[in-house]
């Protein structure tokens, strides 16, 4: 018995998702990584038939039965598995028949391809975004220099004009120069140092909700709160997270104001959850706080979905394309992830922020006895 407990502890510590199946492919044990992968708790999964978890897996299950009958394991690459709640997971899996106390079992090891694909995508995006930002900053610097000259010349000209009515024209030049300068500052000035403090994520989300509540009044948009009150405090810059979340919520509001909306009531759901382990970068894997902003708008055009976090990318003629780029930069400064899933009728932006208890320990005051 002691040996089995040790084996269980070892399996629970693995990042690989592992299921122990009996001869009839009913689940007997689930490790935490498998709970995350299948989005189901161990308590609910145990005793379920594998086909009740992977609802489209008839062909795979038949191959597993044959492997058990022949006592011959195998590995399958790029399997597409559908979960009961509608999510699809891409994974590699290995089935290995084993004997325990004279009974036949199978060990099913599953490696999600989502992490690998996301890491590769994030690394490519980060590299491309860094290049784009350097280009934008260089261009912005070149724009601000002549803008300052134009504005100064317009001010000097206004002083020399004999007719005060003519100063209306110089005022237009000055105002437009200021507007362009502010736009350029927004392009280049959102990488501010973080001012971290211990916060509750609901302080951020509620502040954003209060800010936009008046804006959605009378526009046929309903705000829905779906919070997990058990989420612990963590270290973050509250003002910057408010800015990032507000940008995304306002993006959802603008989407719901689109003429492509086919319903009378728009909804924006603010949802908070904890996630047991999330891969941040190629090595770092930590518990995370998840903030989701979900709207029932027309969705993001498919040709823009891979580029929505780049500056100046927008589907709206009057948009600047800066809000989501700024939000992505702020989340990245917190070593988090900003993800987007979009289809017609549902768009979900998900902020994943790492929570590490040792960060709080660093902030605790030192007392002497």
**Tens-place pLDDT, residues 135-171:** 666 777 677 778 888 888 888 888 888 877 778 888 8
**Tens-place pLDDT, residues 171-190:** 888 888 888 887 777 666 55
pTM of the complete model: 0.60
Question: How many CB atoms neighbour CB 42 within 10 A?
Answer: 14
Yes or no: domain 197-361 corresponds to CATH 3.30.565.10: yes
By DSSP bridging, strand 234-236 and strand 284-295 are unpaired
Q: What's the mean pLDDT in 10-16? A: 81
Q: Write down the pLDDT at residue 84.
A: 84
Confidence of residue 364 (pLDDT cuts 50, 70, 90): very low
Q: Is the pLDDT of residue 329 over 50?
A: yes
**Pick from 333, 327, 323, 324: nearest CA to 235:** 333
How many CA atoms lie less than 13 Å away from 255 in the CB half-sphere? Answer: 27
Q: Is the pLDDT of residue 341 over 60?
A: yes
Mean pLDDT for all residues in the chain? 82
Q: Write down the pLDDT at residue 1.
A: 41
Range name among 213-227, 310-324, 334-348 with the lowest pLDDT average: 310-324
**Tens-place pLDDT, residues 95-148:** 999 988 788 899 999 988 876 666 666 666 666 666 666 666 677 767 777 888
Q: Is the pLDDT of residue 361 over 50?
A: no
| 8 A C-beta contact, residue 275 and residue 288 | yes
Please give the backbone phi and psi of residue 67, each rounded to the nearest 5 degrees, phi first.
-65, -40
**Tens-place pLDDT, residues 295-308:** 998 888 888 877 77
**Tens-place pLDDT, residues 238-279:** 999 999 999 999 999 988 887 777 677 889 999 999 987 777
Q: In Å, how far are 15, 40, 293 from 35, measured between CA atoms?
A: 11, 5, 24
Q: For the chain, what are the domain ranges?
A: 2-112, 116-188, 197-361
What gap in Å lies between CA 88 and CA 305, rounded to an integer?
19
In the 8-state DSSP scheme, what is residue 15? S
| 8 A C-beta contact, residue 254 and residue 299 | no
Q: Write down the pLDDT at residue 360.
A: 42
Q: Is the pLDDT of residue 208 over 50?
A: yes
| 8 A C-beta contact, residue 98 and residue 28 | no
Strands in 17-22's sheet, in edge-to-edge order, are 27-30, 17-22, 103-112, 88-100, 74-82
Contacts with 263 (C-beta within 8 Å, 6 or more apart), sequence order:
296
Question: How many CB atoms neighbour CB 194 within 10 A?
Answer: 14
Q: Write down the pLDDT at residue 64.
A: 93
Coil, strand, or helix at residue 364? coil
Q: What share of the chain is helix, strand, coil (3-state, %, to 5)?
A: 45, 25, 25
Between 277 and 284, the higher pLDDT residue: 277
Question: How many CB atoms neighbour CB 325 within 10 A?
Answer: 25
Chain CA centroid to CA 192, Å: 21
| 8 A C-beta contact, residue 50 and residue 25 | yes
Q: Is the pLDDT of residue 281 over 90?
A: no
Please give the backbone phi and psi of residue 346, each rounded to the nearest 5 degrees, phi first.
-155, 125
Q: Is the pLDDT of residue 221 over 80?
A: yes
**Pick from 327, 232, 237: nearest CA to 272:** 232
| 8 A C-beta contact, residue 158 and residue 171 | yes
Q: Is the pLDDT of residue 42 over 50?
A: yes
Contacts with 337 (C-beta within 8 Å, 6 or more apart), sequence order:
118, 122, 278, 280, 331, 350, 351, 352
Q: Write down the pLDDT at residue 226.
A: 96
Q: What's the mean pLDDT in 81-99? A: 87
Rg of the chain taking only CA atoms, in angstroms? 27
Q: Write down the pLDDT at residue 188.
A: 63
Coil, strand, or helix at residue 231? coil
In the 8-state DSSP scheme, what is residue 26? B
Pick from 312-316, 327-331, 363-367 the range whose average pLDDT is largest: 327-331
Q: Write down the pLDDT at residue 230.
A: 93
| DSSP per-residue string spanning 51-75 | HHHSTT-HHHHHHHHHHHHHT--EE
Range name among 39-48, 114-123, 267-276, 343-352 with the lowest pLDDT average: 114-123
Q: Class of 2-112 per CATH?
A: alpha beta
| 8 A C-beta contact, residue 79 and residue 93 | yes
Q: Write down the pLDDT at residue 324.
A: 87
Between 2 and 102, the higher pLDDT residue: 102
């Amino acid at each position: 018995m002691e040996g089995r407990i040790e084996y269980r502890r070892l399996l629970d510590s693995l990042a690989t998702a592992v299921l122990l199946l009996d001869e009839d492919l009913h689940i007997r044990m689930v490790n935490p990584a498998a709970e995350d992968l299948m989005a189901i708790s161990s308590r609910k999964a145990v005793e379920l038939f594998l086909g009740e978890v992977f609802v489209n897996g008839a062909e795979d299950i038949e191959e597993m039965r044959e492997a058990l009958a022949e006592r011959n394991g195998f590995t399958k690459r790029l399997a597409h598995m559908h979960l009961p709640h509608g999510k699809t997971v891409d994974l590699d899996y290995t089935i290995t028949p084993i004997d325990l106390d004279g009974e036949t079992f199978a060990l099913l090891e599953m490696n999600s391809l989502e992490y690998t694909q996301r890491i590769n995508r994030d690394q490519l995006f980060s590299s491309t975004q860094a290049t784009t930002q350097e280009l934008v900053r260089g261009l912005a610097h070149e724009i601000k220099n002549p803008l300052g000259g134009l504005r100064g010349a317009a001010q000097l000209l206004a002083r020399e004009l004999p007719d005060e009515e003519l100063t209306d024209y110089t005022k237009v030049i000055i105002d437009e120069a200021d507007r362009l300068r502010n736009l350029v500052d927004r392009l280049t000035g959102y990488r501010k140092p973080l001012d971290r403090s211990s916060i509750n994520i609901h302080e951020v989300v509620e502040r954003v909700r209060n800010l936009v509540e008046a804006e959605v009044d009378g526009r046929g948009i309903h705000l829905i709160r779906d919070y997990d009150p058990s989420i612990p405090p963590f270290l973050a810059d509250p003002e910057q997270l408010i800015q990032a979340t507000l940008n995304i919520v306002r993006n959802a509001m603008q989407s719901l104001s689109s003429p492509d909306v086919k319903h009378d009531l728009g909804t924006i759901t603010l949802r908070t959850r904890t996630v047991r382990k999330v891969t941040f970068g190629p090595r770092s894997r930590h518990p995370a706080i998840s903030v989701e902003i979900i709207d029932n708008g027309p969705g993001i055009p498919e040709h823009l979905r891979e580029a929505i976090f780049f500056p100046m990318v927008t589907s709206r003629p009057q948009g600047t394309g800066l809000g989501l780029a700024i939000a992505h930069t702020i989340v990245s400064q917190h070593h988090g992830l900003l993800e987007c899933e979009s289809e017609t009728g549902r768009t979900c932006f998900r902020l994943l922020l790492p929570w590490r208890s040792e960060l709080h320990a660093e902030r605790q005051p030192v007392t002497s006895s």
